Amino acid sequence: MSERILGIDVGRYWPPKRIDDDEFWAETETTLGAVYTPDAGFVNDPQLAAQNLAAAARAHGAEFRFHTSVRGIERAHGRVTAVTLADGSRIPCGVVVNAAGPWSTRINELASVGSDFTVGCRPLRQEVAHVAAPAGFGADNRAGICVADMDLGIYLRGEAGGGLLVGGTEPECDPLQWVDDPDAVTAHPTTAVFEAQVTRAARRLPALEIPNRARGVVGVYDVADDWTPIYDRTELDGFYVAMGTSGNQFKNAPVVGKFLAAIIEQTENGVDHDERPVRFVGEHTGLAIDLSAFSRKRPRGAENSGTVLG
Ligand SMILES: Cc1cc2nc3c(=O)[nH]c(=O)nc-3n(C[C@H](O)[C@H](O)[C@H](O)COP(=O)(O)OP(=O)(O)OC[C@H]3O[C@@H](n4cnc5c(N)ncnc54)[C@H](O)[C@@H]3O)c2cc1C
């Protein structure tokens, strides 16, 4: 049995395995190191955070149109001119940003763009298990740490109130659940995925109990071929994309908005972002980010993990 620190088994079990593989249960003699970032954090209520972002957008003049959907993108002379909605209304506009998440490729099809993309996006069904955290995981009613664990093929984080979320990092032994239609995805977690995720988590947190009933959330990632988002213009003037968010861009939403604003401002003022990529300077760090990293025409990125962990 490998050493346990603060209730964490630090054994090295790589590569991740299916839990019906006898090798999954093998003991290990080797241990892992880790990087600990005590000043990191997370959004503990994404729905409230989204409402807050919407309220902030309204304060800046944004208007929301709920209970209808985009049905068409109109163009004239190579430029977007309007968005049409299912309720029959038409919104004339000079600039459109496709931020439709797992539906983004469909919206591109409505706009007839995508012919020059080197990177495609596909919807991927995902489950995140929800269980009770082991005793002592979050001291003083705090949520406890987040763990990104490629070794076992999971990530986990505590919640205030004693819960624990466990997701997967797309290990090779697990089939990926690509879907054609995000609207057809069933909202119920499956026993197979729940047991795999929570049993792997229990390898790392040996005091974790594995309930008999699957509980958690089901969602759909919009996954880019190289798991890096596409924040860019398109071949249709005035039509921009913020897509391929690959399960990890919620926390980046505020800066992504600024990336898009910078790309749109420069492109609409005649700068060719394909030839002279916009450089965005972070207002807090002062560091420049070359936004060609998110180009629709980039060579497929090979420098990330090819998983939700980026
Ligand atoms: C299970 C799961 C866990 C995740 N965990 C994390 C995490 O821990 N951290 C993190 O940073 N990110 C996480 N993400 C990723 C994060 O949710 C996405 O990056 C983020 O939601 C992308 O925001 P968005 O506004 O671009 O798209 P979405 O949030 O997908 O919103 C797209 C919107 O477009 C609407 N839409 C689609 N088609 C149409 C149409 N024709 N007309 C009108 N509206 C339309 C949809 O209804 C939807 O409201 C997770 C995602 C999932 C699925």
pLDDT digits (tens, 9 = 90+) for 148-199: 999 999 999 998 889 999 999 999 999 999 999 999 999 999 999 999 999 9
- Pocket mutation for ligand 1, best pick of 84, 103, 181 (most atoms within 8 Å of C-beta): 103
* Helix, strand and coil in the chain, % to nearest 5: 20, 25, 50
Helices then strands, each counted (H, E), the chain: 4, 16
Q: Ligand 1 within 6 A of 177 CB?
A: no
Phi, psi of 216 (to 5 degrees): 160, -160
Ligand 1, atom 30: closest residue by C-alpha: 101
* 77 CA → ligand 1 middle, Å: 32
pLDDT of residue 204: 96
Ligand 1, atom 3: closest residue by C-alpha: 247
pLDDT of residue 310: 84
Determine the atom of ligand 1 nearest the C-alpha atom of 218: 1
Contact 111, 81 (CB under 8 A): no
Determine the atom of ligand 1 nearest the C-alpha atom of 221: 53
Determine the atom of ligand 1 nearest the C-alpha atom of 250: 11
In whole angstroms, what is the distance from residue 230 CA to residue 217 CA? 26
- Boundaries of every domain in the chain: 4-46+123-223, 68-120+226-294
pLDDT of residue 6: 63
Residue in the structure block whose two tokens are 């919620």 = 250
Containing 255, the helix (H) or strand (E) segment is helix 253-268
pLDDT of residue 4: 53
Contact 291, 271 (CB under 8 A): no
Q: Ligand 1 within 6 A of 168 CB?
A: no
* 188 CA → ligand 1 middle, Å: 18
Top CATH class, 4-46+123-223? alpha beta
Give whole-number Cα distances, 308 to 94, 146, 168, 175, 208, in Å.
34, 14, 8, 15, 24
- Buried-exposed string 53-91: b where 16+ CB fall within 10 A, e elsewhere: eeeeeeeeeeeeeeeeebeebbbeeeebeebeeeeeeee
* 107 CA → ligand 1 middle, Å: 14
Strand order in the sheet with 70-76: 70-76, 79-85, 90-92
Q: Ligand 1 within 6 A of 103 CB?
A: yes
Q: Ligand 1 within 6 A of 166 CB?
A: no
Strand, helix or coil at 147?
A: strand
Q: Ligand 1 within 6 A of 228 CB?
A: no
Q: Which CATH architecture has domain 68-120+226-294?
A: 3-Layer(bba) Sandwich (3.50)
Enumerate residue ranges in the chain where pLDDT < 50.
1-3
* 101 CA → ligand 1 middle, Å: 5
pLDDT of residue 78: 97
pLDDT of residue 15: 97
CB neighbour list of residue 107: distance below 8 Å, 6 or more residues apart: 70, 73, 98, 100
Determine the atom of ligand 1 nearest the C-alpha atom of 102: 30
Give whole-number Cα distances, 97 to 132, 230, 254, 282, in Å.
40, 12, 15, 22
pLDDT of residue 142: 77
pLDDT of residue 54: 95
Contact 294, 259 (CB under 8 A): yes
- Pocket mutation for ligand 1, best pick of 51, 176, 250, 259 (most atoms within 8 Å of C-beta): 250
In whole angstroms, what is the distance from residue 17 CA to residue 21 CA? 7
Do the domains at 4-46+123-223 and 68-120+226-294 have one common CATH topology?
A: no
* 100 CA → ligand 1 middle, Å: 7
In whole angstroms, what is the distance from residue 233 CA to residue 245 CA? 16
Contact 308, 169 (CB under 8 A): yes
The torsion defined by the Cα of 221, 226, 232 and 235, in degrees rounded to 10, comes to -100
CB neighbour list of residue 61: distance below 8 Å, 6 or more residues apart: none
What is the end-to-end Cα distance of the chain in Å, rounded?
31
Q: Ligand 1 within 6 A of 98 CB?
A: no
* 8 CA → ligand 1 middle, Å: 32
Per the document, the length of the chain is 310
* DSSP code for 134: P
